[in-house]
């Protein structure tokens, strides 16, 4: 099992190290950290020989104040990105809504056009059916008149035929009588 080493304070070496100073590259316990903070002002002295700040003191506590503007900039950038993302979401939702509205409109137009076409086809169908029915009635009437005419002619022909048969039968009877009478006379 891996062990985690607990660093001790590198100043007093008796307490566990709580904080790491990046400039000193040392761990400090709470007491030594307070001491380090208290001595920070003393350590900002200027070298009398070079007229420059001493560079061997801890800047860890100044690092936060130097990092704050960069963090503020990062936060503003992140907020800007979030704001942009929110605007993109609103724009995307609006675009989606417009797309759905246009789709619904197109569907309604298609249904409307189909209704018009179906109505036009129905009107044409009814006009053709009416025309066909009118023609059928006319032809049926014409054929019925022809049939009636043929029936009358047939009836007349039957009557004439019957008369002819009667006449022939009557003549046969006369001829037969003449033949019988001739036979009797002989």
Residue 9 counted as domain residue: yes
Residue 37 counted as domain residue: yes
pLDDT at 139 > cutoff 80 = yes
pLDDT for position 108: 98
Segment 153-175, tens digit of pLDDT:
999 888 888 887 777 766 766 76
Residue 117 counted as domain residue: no
Contacts of 36 (CB under 8 A, 6+ apart): 11, 21, 28, 58
Burial code (b: 16+ CB inside 10 Å, e: under 16) for 111-121 equals eeeeeeeeeee
pLDDT at 11 > cutoff 70 = yes
Place 9 in a pLDDT band, splitting at 50, 70 and 90: confident
Residue 65 counted as domain residue: no
Residue 174 counted as domain residue: no
Residue 130 counted as domain residue: no
pLDDT for position 1: 42
Closest C-alpha among 65, 47, 63 to residue 55: 47
- What is the rounded average pLDDT for all residues in the chain? 81
Range of the domain at 35: 1-58
Q: Report how many domains make up the chain.
A: 1
pLDDT at 57 > cutoff 90 = no
pLDDT at 47 > cutoff 80 = no
């Amino acid at each position: 099992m891996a062990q985690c080493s607990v660093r001790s304070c590198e100043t007093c070496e008796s307490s566990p190290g709580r904080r790491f100073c990046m400039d000193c590259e040392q761990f400090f316990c709470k007491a030594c950290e307070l001491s380090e903070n208290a001595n920070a002002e003393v350590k900002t002295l200027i070298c009398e020989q070079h007229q420059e700040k001493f560079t061997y003191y801890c800047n860890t506590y100044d690092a936060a104040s130097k990092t704050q503007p960069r963090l503020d900039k990062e936060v503003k950038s992140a907020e800007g990105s979030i704001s942009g993302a929110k605007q993109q979401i609103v724009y995307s939702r609006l675009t989606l809504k417009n797309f759905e509205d246009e789709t619904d409109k197109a569907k309604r137009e298609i249904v409307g056009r189909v209704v018009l076409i179906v109505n036009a086809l129905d009107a044409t169908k009814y006009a053709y059916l009416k025309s066909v029915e009118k023609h059928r009635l006319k032809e049926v009437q014409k054929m019925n008149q022809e049939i009636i005419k043929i029936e009358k002619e047939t009836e007349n022909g039957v009557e004439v035929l019957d008369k002819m048969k009667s006449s022939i039968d009557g003549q046969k009877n006369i001829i037969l009588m003449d033949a019988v009478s001739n036979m009797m006379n002989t």
